[in-house]
Amino acid sequence: MPVSYHGEEMCPVDPVIRLSTARISKAFGATQALNQIDFDLRVGEIHALLGENGAGKSTFIKILAGDYSADQGEITYDGKPVRLQSPSDSRNLGIRVIYQEFNLVPTMSVAENICLGSYPPGRLPATINITEMKRLAQEVLGRLGEEIPIQTLVRNLTVAQQQVVEIAKALLCQPTVLIMDEPTSALNDQETEHLFALLRSLRDRGVSIIYISHRIDELFKLANRVTVLRDGVTVGTVDIGAATRATLVQMMVGRELAEMYPKRSIAPGQVLLEVKGLSAAGNKVRDVSFQVRRGEIVAIFGLLGAGQSELARTLFGAIPAASGHVLLDGQPITLHSTTAARAAGIGLVPEDRKTGGLVGQLGVKANLTLAALPRYARCGMVRTGLEMREATEWADRLNVKRASMSQPIRFLSGGNQQKVVIARWLANQSRVLVLDQPTRGVDVGAKVEIYRLLEDLCEQGVGVVIISIEMPEVLGIADHIYVMCQGRMVGPYSRTEATKHKLMSCAVGIEGE
C-alpha cells in the first residue's frame, strides 16, 4: 500500500482501516437524512466531513456515537462488525464525540467536568476520590500542554478553554476515534492554530479523527482526506492533496460559486447611527464611539470576548448603558429595553441561537415571524396567509432545509437554525441591523446568500453592523472596519486601508492606542 504524506511535518499515514460504514441510512419521518453512506476512517488520519447545512453530517456522527441507530447498514471496527445501539457501545470501542453544542456542566469545576465524562450517565460511583480526580485532570491537561486551573468553574472559562476541557474529557478515556463537530466555529485564528497542533499530535499518536467544519480553507492545513455529503448521499472522498477549494465547493454545492463576497458599490448616505462614548454596565464596553451611514456595512472585528457581543446587546437594550449617547438620524435615543430598541428600528441577530434567538418547540414559520408579528396583524387578528407567504419566501431565499414550515425548529440542522435567526431579522425591516457572528456554522452557499441580502438591505438604505471574528469575512464585506480589544474600540479603517496585519495588531492591543 502506498504511504501518503501530508502537511509540513510529512507524517506518514497508516492505511489500516479503523472504522468503516457500509450503506448506512437514516430517515426522520419523510426526511431521508442519510442514504446508503459508505465511509472509512484510517488509523492515524484526520478525515474531514464536509457538506451543506442539513447534508447529514451530524446525523452520521450521531450514529457512530450510538446516539441514533441506523435504519440499515453495517459498521465495522478493526475489521469486525459491531452494533452501536447506545452511547456506551460506542464509548466501549473508544469512540468519543465532541458535539457542536458542548456538554459541560457550567456550575462544576474543570476537574469535575473532565472526570465525570468517564462515567456512563447514572452510573456514578458512590464515592469519588477527589484527590485522584484532580490528579487525573491535571495530568490530562498537562498532556495537552494546557494551563487551565482545574478548580475554576466551567462557566467562567472562555469558549476556547471550554473546548479544551471537552477534549481533555474525551482524552481521559484514551479514545481511538475522536469525532469533532464544528470545533472551530467559535474559535479565533490563534485558538484554531492551537487546536490544530493538538489534533495533529493526536493523529500522529495513532488516534483517528473525524472532523466536521464549514471552514473549507482550514481543511488544507489539517485534513488527510475529505468526504463530501450532499442531501444524505456521499458525493465522494478525496485526498486533500488532490483537492482544491473550488473542487470541494463544487462537490458540496453541486455548482461553482462565482464570488464569495458579492460586494457592490453603494454610495453611503447620511449618518444613521451614531454612538458616542458608550460604556456598558459591567465594564465590558468602555467609551466606545462609532458611526454607521445609510447603505453602509460596518464591521466590528475582535478576538472572541473583546466586548463586541456586549456592545451589540447594549445597542439592543439588553444590557443597560452606564454612560454615553446613541443617536439615530441625529436624534438621541434611550435604549432602556429591547422593546425600545426594536421600536427605534434596531434589530439584533444574536450570537447564540440557542439562548438568544429561537424557540425550539415552535415551528419554522413561527420562529421566522416572531419579531415581526405586529406587521401581520389587522384588527387584532394575525393574517396567517400573508404570514405564511412571507415566511416561506424568506425560508426559500436562504435555502432553509426543512420538512415543512411547521416543523419544530429544534429538528433543523445547526446551520439551518442559524439561517432562521438571520431571516427573522432580515424580514423585520430594521433601520439598523446588528448581526453578531451571523455566518457561524453556515455553509458557503448560504454565506454568499446572506452577504447578498445584506447588500440588498444597504441598497434600501439600512445601516448594517456586522460583528465577526472571521478576518476574511470582515475584509470581504465591510465598508468600514472597527476593532475591539478589551472593551475599547479603534478605527475606523476603510476597505482600502485595512489589512490583515493591521486588524490583528489592533485586536491584540499592540496598535491603534
Ligand X SMILES: Nc1ncnc2c1ncn2[C@@H]1O[C@H](COP(=O)(O)OP(=O)(O)OP(=O)(O)O)[C@@H](O)[C@H]1O
Cis amide prior to 268 (ω within 30 degrees): no
Q: Find the residue with minimal CB distance to ligand X.
A: 415
Q: How far is the CB of 240 from ligand X (least distance, A)?
A: 20
Residue length, the chain?
Answer: 513
Helix (H) or strand (E) holding 402: none
444 burial type by CB count under 10 A (0-12 exposed, 13-18 middle, 19+ buried): buried
Q: Counting contacts by CB under 5 A, is residue 414 touching Mg ion? A: yes
Q: Identify the CA nearest to 12 among candidates 49, 47, 43, 48.
A: 43
Q: Find the residue with minimal CB distance to Mg ion.
A: 58
C-alpha span between 340 and 334 (Å, rounded): 8
Beta strand pairing call for 177-181 and 208-212 = parallel
Count of residues of this chain found to bind ligand X when the rule CB under 6 A is applied: 18
Q: How far is the CB of 53 from ligand X (least distance, A)?
A: 3
Q: Counting contacts by CB under 6 A, is residue 219 touching ligand X? A: no
C-alpha span between 262 and 264 (Å, rounded): 6
Residue pair 188/128 in contact (Cβ under 8 Å)? The answer is no
Q: Counting contacts by CB under 6 A, is residue 58 touching ligand X? A: yes
User: Which of Mg ion, ligand X, none is residue 33 near (CB under 5 to 8 Å by kind)?
Assistant: ligand X
User: Which of Mg ion, ligand X, none is residue 416 near (CB under 5 to 8 Å by kind)?
Assistant: ligand X
C-alpha span between 468 and 482 (Å, rounded): 11
Q: Counting contacts by CB under 6 A, is residue 307 touching ligand X? A: no
- Chain centroid to CA 238: 25
Beta strand pairing call for 80-82 and 72-77 = antiparallel
Q: Counting contacts by CB under 5 A, is residue 59 touching Mg ion? A: no
Q: Counting contacts by CB under 6 A, is residue 353 touching ligand X? A: no
80 strand-pairing partners: 77
C-alpha span between 226 and 45 (Å, rounded): 11
**102 vs 411, which CB is nearer to ligand X?**
411
Q: Counting contacts by CB under 6 A, is residue 415 touching ligand X? A: yes
**Interface region with Mg ion, contact rule CB under 5 A, candidates 54-62, 160-168, 239-247, 484-492:** 54-62
Q: Of 176, 367, 416, 439, which lies in the binding site for ligand X, with binding defined by CB under 6 A?
A: 416
One-letter amino acid of 361: Q
**413 vs 437, which CB is nearer to Mg ion?**
413
Residues of this chain, 10-39, that bind ligand X according to CB under 6 A: 28, 31, 33
Q: Of 24, 41, 55, 503, which lies in the binding site for ligand X, with binding defined by CB under 6 A?
A: 55
Q: How far is the CB of 440 from ligand X (least distance, A)?
A: 11
Q: How far is the CB of 282 from Mg ion (least distance, A)?
A: 33
Q: Of 58, 109, 161, 417, which lies in the binding site for Mg ion, with binding defined by CB under 5 A?
A: 58
Per-residue contact string for residues 392-411; x = within reach of ligand X by CB under 6 A: ---------x---------x
Residue pair 210/229 in contact (Cβ under 8 Å)? The answer is no
User: Which of Mg ion, ligand X, none is residue 28 near (CB under 5 to 8 Å by kind)?
Assistant: ligand X
Beta strand pairing call for 17-28 and 72-77 = antiparallel
Q: Counting contacts by CB under 6 A, is residue 294 touching ligand X? A: no
Which grid coordinates are listed for 494? 476603510
**162 vs 416, which CB is nearer to ligand X?**
416
- Chain centroid to CA 113: 23
Q: Counting contacts by CB under 6 A, is residue 59 touching ligand X? A: yes
Give the footprint of ligand X on this chain (CB under 6 A). 28, 31, 33, 51, 53-59, 401, 411-416
